[in-house]
Amino acid sequence: MTTAPPASPWKLDLRGVCKTFRASHGEFRALQDLDFHAAAGEFVCLLGPSGCGKTTALNIIAGLEQADRGDVLIDGRPVAGPGPDRVVIFQEAALFPWLTVRDNVAFGLAAHGMPRAKRHRLAEAQLEMVNLGDFAAASVHELSGGMKQRVALARALALNPEILLMDEPFAALDALAREALHLELQTLWSATGKTIVFVTHNVREALVLGDRVLVLSASPGRIKSEFRCDLPRPRSMESHSLVDMAQAILSDLRSEVQAAQEDVRRDRLAP
């Protein structure tokens, strides 16, 4: 960043973000001029095929990776590394098995030096919010996949971040658990007013959760199209209007997947 970025009216603002990885077979352009923003309290879904750089984008916002070029602004200020104002929820819950459920939720608070009694009280309150109040003393391996993700959600919310970054958090769950978590997440979001960036490859999941759905193109990743979803909440994956919208986006996405496959074929033919 050589020049000061212009002021941004958005909670989260990405401008011209580029990221290239060096792989064994050469360079891989993960992101090319990625531009998008999220208003405070907005629920934005990043939708795209596997390998389109969604996770890279999220890692850059989180500060876990650095962009080669471009600006990532939070409230107009550039991101300088990981911080508790932006917490990531991963596809695997990434809970620590040596801690109880309560201590897992309290982990981030402990890292910021909160006294034990206070952080336990806060952790238990968060667990109540995700309906796991009875599991505070349980071990992580006693929980189901869906419960683990709810603990991960509680752990992130305990830090009271302004932005939640969610990286396909429900992709490994069965349909019923996922549906329950969709409802719970919508409720939590309305109650807390967090800004959420949610990465998924599932069109209907994106439409159930998001105010806006941004479709990413594959290699290099950039915003290809944008859909606004104003259906009343809480939404269900099965509602007709949602399924109709999903069809429209899917055909858009399909051309993208084809393009990506063409790319792969071309690479194979002319290495």
Partner 1 sequence: MTGWRLKLVFFVGLLLLWEALVRLQLWPSYVFPSPLAVGRSLVAGIANGFIPLAVLTSLRRILLAYALSLLIGIPLGLLLGRTRLLQETLGTLVLGLQALPSICWLPLALLWFGLSETAIGFVVVMGAVLSITVSTADGVRNTPPLYLRAARTMGARGWRLYTGVILPSALPAILSGMKLGWSFAWRSLMAAELLYVSLGLGQVLTLGRELNDMARVLAVMLVIVAIGLLTDFAFFRPAERRVRQRWGLHGNT
Q: At 201, which amino acid appears?
A: H
CB of 169 to partner 1, least distance (A): 12
CB of 92 to partner 1, least distance (A): 6
Based on CB atoms, which residue is closest to partner 1, 140 or 196? 140
Based on CB atoms, which residue is closest to partner 1, 110 or 242? 110
Based on CB atoms, which residue is closest to partner 1, 21 or 96? 96
CB of 236 to partner 1, least distance (A): 31
CB of 111 to partner 1, least distance (A): 4
Based on CB atoms, which residue is closest to partner 1, 111 or 231? 111
CB of 130 to partner 1, least distance (A): 17
CB atoms within 10 A of CB 267: 12
Based on CB atoms, which residue is closest to partner 1, 188 or 245? 188
Rounded to whole angstroms, how far apart are CA atoms 211 and 37?
A: 12
For residue 166, give both structure tokens. Answer: 């969610």
CB of 108 to partner 1, least distance (A): 4
> From the CA atom positions of the chain, what is the Rg in Å?
19
- The β-bridge relationship of strands 212-216 and 223-228 is antiparallel
Straight-line distance from the first to the last Cα atom of the chain, in angstroms, rounded to the nearest whole number:
34
Interaction site with partner 1 (CB under 8 A): 62-64, 82-84, 86-88, 90, 92, 94, 96-99, 107-108, 110-112, 139-142, 155-156, 159, 165
Task: Identify the residue whose tokens are 């405070």.
Answer: 40
Residues 6 or more apart from 253 whose CB is under 8 A from it?
47, 48, 49, 203, 215
Based on CB atoms, which residue is closest to partner 1, 65 or 252? 65
> With contact defined as beta carbons under 8 Å apart, do 11 and 165 qualify?
no
For residue 247, give both structure tokens. Answer: 């069809």
CB atoms within 10 A of CB 29: 14
CB atoms within 10 A of CB 22: 8
